[in-house]
Structure 1
Amino acid sequence: MRKAKPAGRKVTDIPADRLAQLNTGAAARTLTECLAVDFAALMGHVLPTIGSDALTGMRQAAATGISRRMPLAARLIADHLGPSGLDDLGTHASDTVRGWCCFMIGLPGATDLADRLDAIRPFADDPHFGVREWAWMALRPHIAAELERAVALLADWTGAPSPNLRRFASEATRPRGVWCSHIGALRHRPELGLAILEPLRTDRSSYVRDSVGNWLNDASKDRPDWVRELCARWTAENPTPDTLNLCRRALRSLHPDQ
């Protein structure tokens, strides 16, 4: 998630009554609120029958990063509810709970990648910024494990009516990304992602184009000449303000003063 924190605000600044709302299922309004949720408290409220062992495990993980706690919560819930968990929780008001569903879809197992992508689609198009980020993070290990197939599948998403889905295709395959492991193959061979990048370079949504620019900025840290050449071609082929802004974002690490 890259929605900016409110300036100077910390998790400890959130009023007690607002924390109580978050821990009983209210949707977070900011990244700071997302980070403030007490997973054990929320899980106990949403799933009162999950058992003390699961809640103890969640409490013991409270000091770990949120990107570690999300898959842990998903595993504990999947162990308790089984496949019905997605049906039970997938439309819950809490963005954190819906995020847990994303990681349930991403749990290790023999599920085919295409089936995982079909299952994640409503979460990738969720109205909440946080759920949309959890959606791609949850499937990223599987995307990296079957990269060429994933790119081929996600290339179809670039024509989706929703900009959220189009952005998912770009964000899920960023070579470096945010709060996630790098995809080594794309760091060294970013051209593998062109089937996704080319259709999105003139996307009508700045939300999508900014993701493409960030994708290329990632790539510029390992393949700067490739990114320069690609941006030069795109600018020559389509010299619009949108293309210029996308390429400026793509090249910002190489030209930080611009």
Structure 2
Amino acid sequence: MTDPKRKGARSTKDIPADILQQLNAGQIETANLVEWLAVDQKLLLENLLNQHKRIDYLSPILEKIDQLKKQTVNTINEAIGFELFELTIKNNDKEFLEIMSNHQADLIRCWATYTIGKNESLNITEILARIQPFSADKHFGVREICWMAVRPKIAKNLDKSIEILSGWTTNEDQNIRRFTTESTRPRGVWCEHIEVLKQNPELGLPILEPLKSDKSEYVQDSVANWLNDASKTQPEFVKQLCSRWETESNIKETKYITKKALRTLNKI
């Protein structure tokens, strides 16, 4: 896991050579976003496959990466995860899926989340059950990638997903609670919008209502961002909801959420 004493470099050029070598070897986790962006995922993959005697997986994955129209950290991450899923299924290699899911390197665990999102044999109940441990991961990168990996399936199975995720809103883990709103944001970040929620944000109330006075600022920010997304297409819904919440829950946590939720509307 991430060493709490290691804060990470402020720029890529400041990453010590030995740290970058350990990151690319999968020996340590990234400490911040700078390191996360600096990891050479192709080299990390090669080192992983060499270590576990699966180097024959490398060539087809690199071929998929080369075919990408745009190579970014996220598109490469997704391509590796998707192709690893295909290869492990083809070779009935459940062992390697387990290795990835429990690996000490955060980017490798990120790849594992895409093997869940790619699995067409799983229904949405099974997908969310399998992704939940990743939503509770202690590393920020894994938590962000895991909702991106399954968001398309959530969007395609929205009613059932909201029903399931509403049950997560009372989980004691703030990371799991945050997943419920972050994965369903109408607009989201680095992902396709969910048009149904942009036009009908009230569908998200089973998730939003239980979190309106959540004690975690991490969760509060996500709830507020969800509503800020919705305010760009359904401003009256967000205004009315925030007004009601402030009346029903006149505490600092709710006020923090509503103020941030209305930030775009208050600029108009």
Using structure 2 for the length normalisation, give the TM-score: 0.87
Identity %: 41
- What do the CA deviations read for 1:44-78 (whole angstroms, capped 9, x no partner)? 11112232413532663596122211221012222
| 2:144 is aligned with 1:133 | yes
Q: Are residue 43 (structure 1) and residue 54 (structure 2) matched? A: no
> Is 1:192–2:203 an aligned residue pair?
yes
Match of 2:62 in 1: 56
Pair 1:55–1:140, CA change in 2 (3 A):
closer
CA distance in 1, matches of 2:77, 2:205: 31
Instruction: Tell me how far 1:11 sits from its aligned partner.
Output: 3.4
Q: Is the 8 A contact 1:113 1:150 kept in 2?
A: yes
In structure 2, the CA distance between the partners of 1:153 and 1:213, relative to structure 1 (3 Å rule), is: same
Given that 1:62 and 1:69 are in contact with CA atoms closer than 8 Å, whether structure 2 keeps it comes out as no
1:77 matched to 2:99: no
* Paired residue secondary structure (1:74): helix
Q: Which residue of 1 aligns with 2:30?
A: 28
Q: TM-score, normalised by structure 1?
A: 0.91
Question: After the TM superposition, which of the residue ranges 87-96 and 189-198 deviates more from structure 2?
Answer: 87-96
Determine the structure 2 residue equivalent to 1:124.
135
**Aligned equivalent of 2:169, options 143, 158, 168:** 158
Which residue does 2:255 correspond to in 1?
A: 244
Q: Is the 8 A contact 1:125 1:162 kept in 2?
A: yes
**Number of residue pairs matched by the alignment:** 251
Distance change in 2, residues 1:170/1:207 (3 Å) = same
State the alpha-carbon separation in 2 of the partners of residues 89 and 75 from structure 1. 13
Q: Among residues 182, 187, 193, which one is paired with 1:182 in the alignment? A: 193
**1:93-141 CA distances to partner (integer Å, 9 max, x unpaired)?**
1100000011110005131110011111111100111111111111100
Q: Could you say which residue in structure 2 is the equivalent of 1:18?
A: 19
Cα RMSD, aligned residues only? 2.1
Contact in 1 for aligned 2:198/2:230 (Cα 8 Å): yes
User: 5+ residue gaps in structure 1?
Assistant: 1-5
* Aligned AA (1:184): E
Change (3 A) 1:24 1:63: farther
Once the two structures are TM-superposed, the CA of residue 229 in structure 1 deviates from its matched residue by 0.8
Listed as ranges, the gaps of 5+ residues in structure 2 are 1-6
- Give a deviation string over 1:198-227, Cα, whole Å, max 9, x none: 001111211111110110011111111111
Superposed displacement of residue 242, structure 1 = 1.3
User: 2:60 is aligned with what amino acid?
Assistant: A
- What's 2:121 paired with? 110
